[in-house]
Copies of this chain bind each other. A is one copy, B any other.
Amino acid sequence: MAKKTKITKTGNISEWYSYIIQQADMADYSPVGGCIVMLPYATKIWESIQGYHNINLKKRGVENANYPLLIPQSLLEKEQEHIDGFSAEVAWVTEGGSEKLSEKLAIRPTSETIMYHFFAKFIQSHADMPLKHNQWCSIIRWEQTLTKPFIRGKEFWWTETHTCHSTKKEAEGEVSDGLKDYVNMCENLLAIPVIPGRKPQHDKFPGADYTTAIEAMMPDGKSLQLGTSHLLGQHFSKMFNIEFQDKNEKKEFAYQTSYGFSTRLLGGLVLVHGDDDGLVLPPKVAPLPVAIIPMWKTETKDKIITKAKKIKELLEKQNIDVVLDLAEDKSPGYKFSRWEQKGVPLRIEIGENELNDNTVCCVRRNWKTRLNNNPDLNKKEIIATADIQKQIPKILEEIQKELLCDAKKELDKRYSVAKTRKDFDKVIKEANGYCEAGWCGDEKCDEQIKEETAARIVLIPDKPKEKHAKCIVCGKPAKESVLFSRKY
Provide the A239-262 mask, 1 if CB < 8 A to any CB of B, else 0: 000000000000000000000000
Which residues of chain A (298-348) have a CB below 8 Å from chain B? none
Q: Please name the residue on chain B nearest to A135 by beta carbon.
A: B43
Provide the A94-120 mask, 1 if CB < 8 A to any CB of B, else 0: 111110000011010000001001100
Inter-subunit contact B121/A70 (CB<8 Å): no
Is A404 interfacial (CB-CB < 8 Å)? no
Chain A interface category by residue count: 35 or more
Contacts of A31 in B (CB 8 A): 72, 75, 117
Is A5 interfacial (CB-CB < 8 Å)? no
| Distance in Å: Cβ of A30 to nearest Cβ of chain B | 4
Contacts of A399 in B (CB 8 A): none
Q: Please name the residue on chain B nearest to A287 by beta carbon.
A: B63
Contacts of A92 in B (CB 8 A): 93-96
| Distance in Å: Cβ of A99 to nearest Cβ of chain B | 8
Contacts of A95 in B (CB 8 A): 91-92, 94, 104
With A88-B97, A91-B105 known, 9 other A-B pairs at CB within 8 A are: A37-B67, A37-B68, A40-B65, A43-B66, A69-B155, A90-B96, A91-B97, A92-B94, A94-B95
Is A296 interfacial (CB-CB < 8 Å)? no
Inter-subunit contact A37/B65 (CB<8 Å): yes
- A133 and B87 alpha carbons, distance in the complex (Å): 35
Q: List 18 A-B contacts (CB under 8 A).
A: A30-B114, A32-B71, A37-B65, A39-B65, A43-B64, A44-B63, A46-B66, A66-B157, A68-B155, A69-B138, A70-B91, A70-B140, A87-B98, A91-B93, A92-B95, A92-B96, A93-B93, A95-B104
Known: A95-B94, A107-B93. A35 touches B65 (CB 8 A): no
Q: Please name the residue on chain B nearest to A114 by beta carbon.
A: B30
CB contact between A105 and one of B32, B38, B65, B90 (< 8 Å): that residue? B32
Question: How many copies of this protein are present in the complex?
Answer: 2
Contacts of A118 in B (CB 8 A): 28, 37
Q: Please name the residue on chain B nearest to A40 by beta carbon.
A: B63
Inter-subunit contact A63/B43 (CB<8 Å): yes
Inter-subunit contact B91/A96 (CB<8 Å): yes
Inter-subunit contact A88/B93 (CB<8 Å): no
Inter-subunit contact B140/A69 (CB<8 Å): yes
Known: A30-B114, A118-B28. A97 touches B90 (CB 8 A): yes
Is A144 interfacial (CB-CB < 8 Å)? yes
Chain B CB count within 10 A is highest, among A28, A37, A133, A142, for A37
Is A381 interfacial (CB-CB < 8 Å)? no
CB contact between A68 and one of B32, B46, B94, B114 (< 8 Å): that residue? B32
Q: Ordered nearest first, which 9 A-B pairs have the shortest CB separation?
A: A40-B63, A96-B142, A38-B66, A92-B95, A30-B68, A97-B142, A35-B68, A94-B94, A88-B97
- A95 and B107 alpha carbons, distance in the complex (Å): 11
Is A89 interfacial (CB-CB < 8 Å)? yes
| Distance in Å: Cβ of A114 to nearest Cβ of chain B | 7
Inter-subunit contact B144/A97 (CB<8 Å): yes
Contacts of A64 in B (CB 8 A): 40, 43-44, 47
Is A36 interfacial (CB-CB < 8 Å)? yes
Contacts of A98 in B (CB 8 A): 87-88
Contacts of A88 in B (CB 8 A): 97-98
Q: Please name the residue on chain B nearest to A66 by beta carbon.
A: B38
- A64 and B68 alpha carbons, distance in the complex (Å): 22
Known: A30-B114, A70-B35. A133 touches B40 (CB 8 A): yes
Q: Please name the residue on chain B nearest to A153 by beta carbon.
A: B68
| Distance in Å: Cβ of A106 to nearest Cβ of chain B | 10
Contacts of A39 in B (CB 8 A): 65
